[in-house]
Structure 1
């Protein structure tokens, strides 16, 4: 009996061992399967990550391509704008080199087919305009009074420029000798201009007496020298500076102003001059604005009676010394101690060239006179 029990127990133990071994073998297989599955998952994840990296790389490449294309489009746009600018410039050049017909203030008609190469200026103002326009290298003759923007006397002495002589009533012989293809005259050389026109020369007269007329003369000279753009720019800048002064004095008190042109006899300025206009633009009023001539002869008594608040005198006359000696001498004229300008020491000198020449520096004159009339706005002159 005991042996049977022992056998049964042994058999059960063996069976248990077999079952346990089988279970272990099965479990080990499951573990192996799980490990294999996990390895497969890791491989899949690695593949997915690789794909994601590839996709991200492609996205980066596409973005880089887009940036490059945008830059390329920007470059193309700039090139298009450059081409358009070039086309506009070429069209402007073509238009400038077409035949032009000009009519000046006295009725002279000039037709030009190409830019002039030999220009003679019969007035200092014309010389200033030509050089400011950039046509100075075409000027072959000037007057003895032309002294801006260069010392032309030195040029003449060095043989780099010719002088045709006087500004007033010049002889035509030295002008003709220079074989000009354009002559710019003025009111001081009307007789010479008429004679030269009859001889077949291209003559234009600048004779503006008001600011708008002077600006129109600059435009005309610009067209005559095929410097249209330069002329337009100059006139635009001048208008801007004029407007700046006018706007600042718009609400200022208007002061009475006297300007003396000559002393023996005493001459001042009337209403039909650009100097009278400039005084008005600067916030003043010319005390002889009611004169019947452009350059009225006046008396010391009339000046005292009209009692100017401000007076200004040219620092020279016709490129020579002034006619009044000193400002102190002006103050000592008979009866002048009662004049407001003398009492307030509001007597000034002004550059004679900028106040007498109908050229681009008239704006300098306006700004200088504005300081004299309204130093509280523009500062001391």
Structure 2
């Protein structure tokens, strides 16, 4: 009997669907899973309890709901049980991004038969590749997942080759929220480093396994941004596609804080953080190619589908 897989986060859904033969195993998803487009007919078993209205209001809602409830998501336990999954894909990296692992495991323990709960919590590119192989192994697609990883590894190596030929390392800042300003962490400093940029305000560290990554995302100030003297700032708000981000920035035009950033930073690029920068799945390699191509003016490696606007 083939596995029945429920995914509770977009990156895991993309991983499963990118593995040859994986998409047909998916039986349910989260309400935020939007890629690939042809999974939209599948039932959803998890929903957020906050609604986007503005950058500032979302930050307030997150703070309030985490304090009151300890989570931002509701799992439909009854629907999940009726689907009889054999595998549930989840994460334990960020409680803002999806339901926490403990809640999922608590639900799984009460199910009969009890599904396998696979925790995908990557903090660097190597972890993302490991996750792809772990998903493949769990659903019986070992060879397929390994072959797909080799394709992604070849693309990473291609970026390294292009980057090694560059003479400069631009100073790069990646923001994954504005109002308040939050610098991207985990995999993003590594991505910038591989792209031959100098990651700002989130330094690279080497973990116990020898892998290089950034620390978690953290709040920063306008003074931090100005003092860092970035050559380029990528704004890729977590959970927001480019059209939504553009609407938000229209209201920021007269903000004194934002004017200080605009007056200091030579280049500011608004990007689709929802599908690329902040989603640790296969399209994180697209993000790597985009950053490398953009900061070094190598258009041939910039993915055509990664939406962006330079201010």
Fold match (TM-score > 0.5): yes
Distance in 1 separating the partners of 2:301 and 2:15: 29
Structure 2 CA distance for partners of 1:289 and 1:324, relative to 1, 3 Å: same
Offset, 1:379? 7.1
Distance in 2 separating the partners of 1:265 and 1:289: 16
SS state of the match for residue 249, structure 1? helix
Offset, 1:315? 6.8
Structure 2 CA distance for partners of 1:142 and 1:186, relative to 1, 3 Å: same
Q: Is the 8 A contact 2:46 2:74 kept in 1?
A: yes
Superposition map of 1:83-232 within 5 A: 115-116=2-3, 118-133=4-19, 134-150=21-37, 152-153=39-40, 155=41, 161-166=42-47, 169-171=73-75, 172-187=77-92, 188-189=98-99, 190-199=101-110, 200-232=114-146
SS state of the match for residue 148, structure 1? coil
Q: Which has the higher contact order (CA 8 A, sep 6+)?
A: 2
* 239, 243, 264: which one aligns with 1:339: 264
- In structure 2, the partner of 1:304 is 226
Answering whether residue 190 of structure 2 is matched by residue 274 of structure 1, we say no
How many pairs align? 255
Answering whether residue 271 of structure 2 is matched by residue 350 of structure 1, we say yes
Offset, 1:348? 1.5
- In structure 2, the partner of 1:241 is 155
Distance in 1 separating the partners of 2:238 and 2:91: 21
- In structure 2, the partner of 1:82 is none
Q: Is the 8 A contact 1:123 1:146 kept in 2?
A: yes
Distance in 2 separating the partners of 1:240 and 1:169: 37
Offset, 1:336? 2.5
- Give the unaligned 5+ runs of structure 1: 1-113, 156-160
Output one character per residue of 1:61-98: Cα deviation in whole Å (capped at 9) or x when no partner. xxxxxxxxxxxxxxxxxxxxxxxxxxxxxxxxxxxxxx
Output one character per residue of 1:310-368: Cα deviation in whole Å (capped at 9) or x when no partner. 11122773468227424983997232344242xxxx22222221111111111111011
Q: Is the 8 A contact 1:331 1:337 kept in 2?
A: no
Offset, 1:288? 0.9
Distance in 2 separating the partners of 1:198 and 1:130: 23
Distance in 1 separating the partners of 2:181 and 2:127: 28
Offset, 1:236? 0.3
Question: How much is the aligned-residue C-alpha RMSD, in angstroms?
Answer: 2.7
Answering whether residue 281 of structure 2 is matched by residue 359 of structure 1, we say yes
Structure 2 CA distance for partners of 1:255 and 1:327, relative to 1, 3 Å: farther
- In structure 2, the partner of 1:289 is 202
Structure number, greater radius of gyration:
1
Identify, as 1 or 2, the structure richer in helix: 1
SS state of the match for residue 260, structure 1? strand
TM-score where L is the length of structure 2: 0.74
Output one character per residue of 1:141-173: Cα deviation in whole Å (capped at 9) or x when no partner. 1011100011544x1xxxxx2111226544233
- In structure 2, the partner of 1:93 is none
Offset, 1:127? 0.9
Identify, as 1 or 2, the structure richer in strand: 2
Superposition map of 1:27-66 within 5 A: none
